[in-house]
Structure 1
Amino acid sequence: MNIAVLFTGGKDSVFAVHKLKDEGFNVKVLISIIPSYEYSMLYHKPHPQVLMLQAYSMGIPLETATVVDPGREEVVLDEVLSRCVRRYGISGLASGAVLSRFQRERFEKIAFKHGLEAIHPNWGVDQKTYLRTLIGYGVRFIIQSITTMGLPHSMLGRVLSAEDVEKILVLSEKYGFNPSFEGGEAETVVVDAPLFKYRLRCEGSIEERSEYEAFFNIKKCCLIPKN
């Protein structure tokens, strides 16, 4: 089946691409909807250059669209899907959704409108072991934003290790946040994965807005050879 994947460049959408390929799907195109405003219930706010470099590293075409009005978030995806059905002959739409019924239901509504099958390869994974699964699979990522109590700002902007993951699991128990960040507690950027032909290097600075909110603002990113 030819399929499009809703792509943010974070751990969930990148892992979804890998799982789909492992299951025999033909990932024809990545779709990224980029809000021009700070907070969106439906989409993350990815860094456009990061998306292009990740897509290039995986050798998969990327289609992007910017949404400036929160009331048009679903309309913009509808328009992009129309274009992708024509250009790539897709018959399915996949997302990296893990737990959010809000996202899943809206993505499915738009997919079904175009006669597409909706697929969510990460749906329902065990929240306490998910980060371990990603590290074990070879997905390497940084935390780009933190919006919760309990996650140390020192984790921003650096590639997380297996030891970091264990620390996050302990902290999630202590402070009550979702250990896979599905509640929006943090957003991630994948810098390497098995499908990547090149690794991504991100440089930037940390902006701390409060004890519970901080960001790694990416100023420069590039691809570098693996090994």
Structure 2
Amino acid sequence: MRVCILYSGGKDSNLALLKAWKEMEVVCLVSLSPKSEESVLFHYPNTELVKLQAKSLKIPLIMKACSDDEVGSLNALREALKEAKELYGVEGVVTGAIRSTYQATRFQRICDDLELWCFNPLWLRDEVSILREALELGFEIVFTRIAGYPLSKDMLGRKITIETVEMLENMKRFVNPAGEGGEYETLVLNMPLFTKRLKIVDYEIVGSEYDATLIVKKAELVET
């Protein structure tokens, strides 16, 4: 089956991509670029970096700007998926959704309207096991946004390690360990399908102690 990946550049969409790659024909990536961190549906920080990730993956990219509200976001997604269907003969859509029925039901509705199969390979997986699997597979992941106590801005730019996973597991009372509720967002610098590693050259951190974003000002692809 020819599929596209709903791709944010973070850990979940990259893990979903890797799983789909083993069983399907991945023909393109679809990325949405919202206006701010207030986006109700899509990953916000550093969305322009998916262009470098797509180049490293050697997979065509369809990217659409969208507003932060639900209607504008879904309209942009619909247009992007229509384009993927027309240009690449896409028959299905793969997402990195884990537990958000809010996201999943809306994505499913659009796929149904466009007669596309929707596949969520991480759906209802234990969040800690997802993090551990990504690390075991060699993913290099950094935090790009935190949104809520006890996560703090000194985590931004730091790599996720086994120790980080254990810390997030111990914070279950306060945050979803996978950041599914928007508690944090990530950027993948390297994973098994990348032909080159993404390197952050320059960045700044904006925001408050418990609500902050790492803005990448310059990045490049380097040999792994």
TM over 0.5: yes
User: What's the counterpart of residue 94 of structure 2?
Assistant: 94
Q: Does 1:189 align with 2:168?
A: no
Note if 1:25 corresponds to 2:40: no
Question: What is the match of residue 207 of structure 1?
Answer: 206
**Pair 1:13-2:13 in alignment:** yes
Equivalent position of 1:83 in the other structure: 83
Find the counterpart in structure 2 of residue 124 from structure 1.
124
Q: Hey, which bits of structure 1, 4+ residues long, moved more than 6 A?
A: none
Tell me which amino acid in the other structure corresponds to 1:37.
Answer: S
Gaps of 5+ in 1: none
Does the 8 Å CA contact 1:200/1:223 hold for their aligned counterparts? yes
Check conservation: 1:8, 1:46, Cα contact below 8 A.
no
Tell me, in whole angstroms, the C-alpha distance in 1 between the residues paired with 2:122 and 2:16: 6
Q: 1:69 Cα deviation (Å)? A: 6.1
Q: Which moved further from structure 2: 189-198 or 153-162?
A: 153-162
TM-score calculated relative to the size of structure 2: 0.94
Deviation sequence 1:60-92 (CA, Å, 0-9, x none): 110001113623211111111111111000100
Distance change (3 Å), C-alpha of 1:25 and 1:53: same
Structure 2 SS opposite 1:93: strand
Segment drifting more, 110-119 vs 61-70 = 61-70
Contact 1:34 1:66 in 2 (8 A): yes
Q: Give the equivalent residue in structure 2 for 1:198.
A: 196
Aligned residue pairs total 222
**Residue matched to 1:34:** 33
Q: CA deviation at 1:46?
A: 4.3
TM-score (norm 1): 0.93
Query: Aligned to 1:99, what secondary structure does the other structure show?
Result: coil
User: 1:28: how far off?
Assistant: 0.5
The percentage of aligned residue pairs carrying the same residue is 34
Unaligned runs of 5+ in 2: none
CA deviations over 1:170-195 (Å, ceiling 9, x no partner):
2x14x521111111100000000000
Aligned partners of 1:3 and 1:91 also within 8 Å: yes
